[in-house]
Amino acid sequence: MTDDLLVSVIVPAYNEVSTIEVLVRRLRQVPLRIEVVAVNDASTDGTGAMLDRLAGEGLVQLVIHHPVNRGKGAALRSGIAAATGAVIVPQDADLEYDPMELPRLIGPIQEGRADAVYGSRFQGGPHRVLFFWHAVGNNFLTLVSNMFTNLNLTDMETCYKLVRAELLKRLPLTAERFGIEVELTARLAQAGARIWELPISYSGRTYAEGKKITWRDGLAALLHIARYNLFPPRGSWRNSDQRALSGR
């Protein structure tokens, strides 16, 4: 891979009118060749109109509008299908993750050492101090996921998962909502992907500030971990992905 590879940043957005423009402008300041693919998941607060305006200004390369709210997983899958970059990464619209981390995170992929890079919120990077039980829940879900995948991740639920597009576009992803984090990790493990993990900063939101994840999503994630790891799709996708892994 070359230093000037195109990175597709998928931005799923549902009612994020207060932060989406700030996020897009931050993305345009990142010293990478970036393609911004925004997916408006049937927002009702003007997010869609704002994204169209930003696209008109050339700050967003593509806006996809879902006519009905389908969830984060469906939004990411729409974005992945439309992305044209060599590397694809999700970017939440809520300003919890700093896009300036991306040039460092992409390093192992550029150097040909990794097929995917996870940005871990729990490897010692600077972070806003928030909820104890939220951290415990994340660590527990990562532990259970690791028991199924045999990976030693510290943050399975992180938004920042940079994946080579050639591999990601072949993974049989089906999750509609927050189960996409579990499913993507399971599919990468099943494909034999080389995964790296690097520390990132994290500025989490409180629920009063608009955080959407609740304990119900945590319970659902446990069911998703069992489902996506014990019942992978049939077919030859795992073998073909393994042949396509760079450096193999």
Q: How confident is the model at residue 2 (pLDDT cuts 50, 70, 90)?
A: very low
**CATH number of 105's domain:** 3.90.550.10
Residue appearing with tokens 């909820």: 131
Range of the domain at 83: 6-244
Contact predicate 93/19, CB 8 Å: yes
Domain count, the chain: 1
Q: How confident is the model at residue 225 (pLDDT cuts 50, 70, 90)?
A: very high
Query: How deeply is 170 buried, as exposed, middle or buried, from its count of CB atoms within 10 A (0-12, 13-18, 19+)?
Result: middle
- Alpha carbon distance 242, 235 (integer Å): 13
**What percent of the chain lies above the pLDDT cut of 90?**
75
Q: How confident is the model at residue 100 (pLDDT cuts 50, 70, 90)?
A: very high
Claim: this prediction has a pTM higher than 0.85: yes
| Interval 138-148: pLDDT, tens | 889 999 999 99
1: in domain: no
Q: How confident is the model at residue 238 (pLDDT cuts 50, 70, 90)?
A: confident
| Interval 7-44: pLDDT, tens | 999 999 999 999 999 999 999 999 999 999 999 999 99
- What is the pLDDT, as a whole number, of residue 3? 61
18: in domain: yes
223: in domain: yes
Q: How confident is the model at residue 125 (pLDDT cuts 50, 70, 90)?
A: low
Burial 202-218 (b: 16+ CB within 10 A, else e): bebbeeeeeeebeeebb
197: in domain: yes
71: in domain: yes
Average pLDDT, the chain: 90
233: in domain: yes
CA 82 to chain centroid, in Å, comes to: 15
